[in-house]
Amino acid sequence: MITNAHCAGDRCCEVQSEVDTNEHLQDCKPTLHVPTVCDEQFITRHRNRHTADKTYSCDQCEKSFSTKAQLRRHVNVHNGKYKCSECGKCFQDNVSLTRHRPVHSGEKPFECSVCGKRFKEAGSLKRHSRIHSGEKPYRCHLCDKSFSQSIDLRRHERYIHSNVRPYSCSYCGKQFATVKDMKCHVRVHTGAKPFFCTHCSKCFGRHLQLKAHLLKSHNEGTWFTCHICRKKFSFKYNLMKHMRRHEGVKPYVCDECQSVSIQQVN
């Protein structure tokens, strides 16, 4: 059995959220010792759970799974077995529901040792800590570009290298590279605003909108400041785009006319 503390056995990945799945896979890699034969066999079985053919389909949505057990847990999302009493959102198991509850309680037990920012989940603190450390553990195997979050790597691979958008909006047919992007878009049609501010009555359709609101209205979060003009930004990506104006860097080239720009044009 692998001794990596991050991996808790065959069931460990099945309680991970969709955003954390690939990051969890990275954690499951045995980096602390040379794998034995038994370790290699476990790794093979473990990864088969993620790469095996998904032959079990849900009859209520388009999702499919590699095992009956995964499908049975997914069905709980539809039958409301594990339903949040605050917002009505349903989950596949009690573990996922428990992890969701701090969204409403406002409890943030995990604190960053560098800046003091607090988080509801350990995984969120881990991702935040990379802002301070500069760590980028997720590397694209095609262009060697690295990212601090697994979801950014997935978007990069699909948008830049393959342009594959396998997830379609059931309302308008627009296609997206990730399930998360598709779900965010669907809220344009439904008007759903599932992200609530714990300080005031405002709610938002996207988590990034809530994050920006908390920072600007309640000073909760971390500003990203330009060291040249001292302009502040809510997100690191916006600061990076701003810095190109100071540096005169124009990394994006049009395939048709060869004109250059500081930001990517889809």
Average predicted confidence (pLDDT) for the chain = 76
Portion of the chain with pLDDT greater than 70, in percent: 73
Q: Give the whole-angstrom CA distance, residue 78 versus residue 183.
A: 16
SS3 22: helix
Give the start-end residues of each E strand in 104-262: 110-111, 118-119, 138-139, 146-147, 167-168, 175-176, 195-196, 203-204, 224-225, 232-233, 252-253, 260-261
Q: Where are the domains of the chain?
A: 1-51, 65-218, 224-261
In terms of phi and psi (left: phi > 0; alpha: psi -120 to 50; beta: otherwise), the region of 88 is left
Question: Which tokens go with 26?
Answer: 């990275």
Residues 109-158 have pLDDT tens digits of: 888 898 888 888 888 888 888 888 888 888 988 888 888 888 888 878 87
Q: Give the whole-angstrom CA distance, residue 42 versus residue 254.
A: 47
pLDDT reported for residue 258 = 55
Report the CATH architecture of 224-261.
2-Layer Sandwich (3.30)
Nearest alpha-carbon partner for 137 in 161, 153, 113: 153
Q: Is the pLDDT of residue 1 over 90?
A: no
Cβ neighbours of 220 (radius 10 Å): 16
pLDDT reported for residue 172 = 94
More confident residue, 216 or 15: 216
Backbone angles phi, psi at 59, to 5 degrees: -85, 5
Judge: domain 65-218, CATH 3.30.160.60.
yes
Residues 31-74 have pLDDT tens digits of: 334 445 555 555 555 555 555 577 788 888 878 888 889 899 99
Same-fold call for 65-218 versus 224-261: yes
More confident residue, 119 or 172: 172
